Amino acid sequence: MSVKAANFQTSSLARLPQGALVRSVLAAAIQAVEPANAIHQHLRRVEKHLLVAGRKYDLTSYSRIACLAIGKAAAAMSAAVAEILGERLTESLVVSKQALLKGEQATSGRFQAIQGGHPVPDANSVQAGEYALQLCRSLSEEDLLICLISGGGSALLTCPADGIVLADMQALTTLLLASGARIDEINTLRRHLDLVKGGGIARAAAPAQVISLILSDVVNSPLEAIASGPTAADPSSRQEALDVLAKYNLINKVAPAILQTLKNGAETLKPGDAFLERVQNVLVGDNRLAALAAGAAAQSGGLQVIQLGNNWQGEAREVAVRVCSYLQTNNGRGICWIAGGETTVTLHGKGKGGRNQELALAAVDLLAGLPDVMLVTLATDGEDGPTDAAGAVVTGETHARAHALGLEADNYLGNNDAYHYFEKLGDLLKPGPSGTNVNDLTFMFRF
């Protein structure tokens, strides 16, 4: 699905003369990592050959060519692969948050779609995991499996290890999210508790040839962390997974079966494992690509662009202090700073929001009264936390506008209720689900 600049309208962006430019910058970021574009840039068919990142595959040498697509971008990525391979694609299993199939995929019996649970796995996620393992185990040395992996895959596709039930994994995920654990820490645990993760899909598909095209939603894009690495080697150990539980004081809060598996279960696939000999993993899009595209759009609009890197992590309200310092200490004009990454939120209240909205709310008082400044937060999947907003817009006038309505940022921040604060101001970004996911971007403008 294509996200256009008009999708990013808010009260402040409609009111300020720079609003159109800001909307175009946001749209450029999303369009650069649109799943179909990412697939077509890395996967090409030339007659009987498939070209993938410098490698050539003879399509006539395979008996079956199957596709397994998992994650928020699964439907769009699989549609692009189906377009490229045509009738040569034997079958496809699509596991996504919406599980929407388009075109021929929607009417052909060769394609199956399952809507999994996210951010907490559900019964559909388990069914999807079982179907995925069945598909992979049915493949032979003469077959090709194309895996399409994107953000959200860890929850959408799951098959708990022996002795662990779905309720155990649901409770674990909820505890980790509420504790403010980073996504890479959460996925370290998932890899050691699940049969499809930590190279589990590669193990099940062997000895078939496997090509994985990966759209990264993890800071720095370590392959083992994206959707918990279904076709990648896992450098972490069971002890490191236990260390994550200890870090957040969860050892005594998780199910006994989880502790038993982490202490005595089988290890994940490690670098150099024989099960990975016929696996090609290719990164097709990430946060850096989105940030560069946004920067190019800002530059075209006459702004000086300063890229701050794509490794911004930590508590959202603490990151807000750091990014706002660029606006507080720099008096230059016509500048756009871009920071990529993914923050976390430790829940203290019972409000509604997400990490991007929380970062924006924490910035309100920091930017109060500053002229010609704007901060915009953006979840590239279009959905920040369990809300329909992707982020929010803050200007130097936000504090005064809110105060006039009886809204105090500190009160809403204490209740983790950024959504309702910005909803009352009309400054929630609601572009709708983007169909992609490459973490978050924060933009600081001084016009």
Nearest to 355 by CA among 322, 324, 319: 319
Start-end ranges of CATH 3.40.50.10180 in the chain?
Answer: 36-159+194-234+269-285
Going across the sheet that includes 391-395, the strands are 304-307, 335-341, 440-446, 373-379, 391-395, 428-429
CATH among 3.40.640.10, 3.30.590.10, 3.30.450.20, 3.40.50.10180 for 36-159+194-234+269-285:
3.40.50.10180
Instruction: Give the integer Cα–Cα distance in Å for 429 and 422.
Output: 9
Residue written as token pair 């004009």: 333
Q: Which amino acid is at 333?
A: R
In the numeric block, which tokens belong to residue 29?
Answer: 């970021």
According to the model, what pLDDT value does residue 105 have? 52
Q: pLDDT value at position 102?
A: 53
The segment(s) of the chain belonging to CATH 3.40.1480.10 are: 5-33+288-446
pLDDT score of 183: 81
Give residue 101's pLDDT.
53
Mean pLDDT in consecutive groups of 10 residues from the start of the chain, 447 residues: 88 98 98 93 96 97 98 92 96 84 56 90 95 98 98 93 95 93 89 97 98 94 94 97 98 97 94 97 96 98 98 97 96 97 93 98 99 98 95 99 98 98 99 91 98
Please report the pLDDT score of residue 270 as a whole number: 96
CATH H-level, domain 5-33+288-446: superfamily:
MOFRL domain (3.40.1480.10)
Residues 119, 124: Cα–Cα separation, whole Å: 13
Q: State the CB neighbour count (10 A cutoff) for residue 145.
A: 26
Which residues, 6 or more positions from 284, have their beta carbon under 8 angstroms from its beta carbon? 38, 39, 41, 42, 213, 214, 215
Q: Say which residue the tokens 């995925």 belong to.
A: 132
- Cβ distance 103 to 78 under 8 Å? no
Three-state DSSP state, 257: helix
As a whole number of angstroms, the distance between CA 77 and CA 249 comes to: 39
Q: Could you tell me the pTM of the whole model? A: 0.82
425 alpha-carbon distance from chain centroid: 27
